Structure 1
Amino acid sequence: MRPDPTREELQQLVIDHFLHHGYSEVIETFSKEVNIVVPKKDIDNMNARNEVRRLICVGEMESAIEKMTTLCPTILEDDEINFIVRKQHLIEMVRQKLTKEPVEYFRAHLMKNGQRPCDEKMDIIERIFTMLVFNLEDDVEFNVYFQQSEREQTAKEVNSALLAMNGKLKSSRLDLLAKTIAFTGCSQMRSSSPSRKHATIAEFSEEHYSKPYGLAAETSSAFRGEVDLTQDMR
């Protein structure tokens, strides 16, 4: 059986979490308090990723793409990340009420050999283009793509991709630990109680983590669907 983690190991776990999520001010204070030197290359990489996220969150996609491809020239060779990034760029173009440019951009960056993306992705693109005939303030179904939360989700996905392509985990070790605990606990709940066999991990998190440390929001946000821990370790 593995011994309990040392104080130093726990401190490194926290620092890894701060580095992953880009908490630059917090990590500076924390590392001084625990007398741990964080490698300059890790700080520089975190700051660069933070800048990419900032640019995405303010809608400056051209600058964000330039910055992310400088950090990782091959990042847009991944089809999923390319779609996420290009989709967000299209959203920003439509937000500006451009009409011709989004179509040209779609053809240039989201059509491979003249072939359209799969039906699921095309459905998203069509919904985004539909917003050209509405005001962004209109209460319509597709307005969700123009919420700030969409930018933030894109920034989060790009941050994870940049980490993964630089040999890091897509999730911090602390996030993985929380997911593993919640996943294991939910599995035990399902097996021990027939009435709870369909319990979700979000429900388990709410029941066991809401007090006294208020972890429910953190954990439930990570578990809205089926869990595949291997996805975080690629």
Structure 2
Amino acid sequence: MSITDTEREAPSGRAVRQPSADLGLSRLRSFICLAEELHFGRAAQRLHISQPALSQQLVRLEKDVATPLLRRTNRSVWLTPAGREFLRGARAAVRALDETTDATRRRAGSRLPLVLSHVPHAHGGLGSFVEDFGAALGEQLFRSTVRIARHSHEEHRRALREGRAVLGICPADGEPGVRGLGSADIVVLPAPGGASAAAPYPLRLSWPEWASPAEVDRLVSLARHLAQGSPTPLAAVRAGV
């Protein structure tokens, strides 16, 4: 019997299948992060989401598994016995999927380039930043070819939701994040002495919400290093510095 399929005995003695729990990967990752931090603020920061959004994910997860996984007071957060048991299974499930994903990428190599979705804009000089970022992603993180795809806003969101793009870059418009996508805003500094040295330009990075928090940290770190015109030593980026 799977983790999501349960049965109960009906009054007639006939087994009745209970509805499957919606144990989405993003919820599992959020729970693992929260169990590691035992602090909603730090966990939300690591996951690049708001604390209310993280709390809502936990409420839905506990409703689906029909038992409390965490207890909290104003000063502390701790795992229940059920939470400790669930954590072991969640880690195993996420680890297995991450290993499968990595193995698939390695086998695909340059035959299946990863896609960086980019919403074009009129700001001069940002095209070179996107190209540099795409090249750095391929060389320093994924060890695979990264293809930059120019999309409209709707195509951009669809490609990320469907997993056809591993990351997206678009102008930061001040609107809230899109449901189903994680996001972080960065500021690209103009090149010293360049023609576009007027003002810094805000951009939004987006990724599928089921992406690994560790991988997201490395992606955001790399983008911020490049946006500030800083060198991006491989060791620092892999460590998420």
| More helix per residue | 1
Q: TM-score range with shorter-chain normalisation? A: under 0.3
User: Which is richer in strand?
Assistant: 2
Provide TM-score, normalisation by structure 1.
Answer: 0.27
Structure with more relative contact order (C-alpha pairs < 8 Å, separation 6 or more): 1
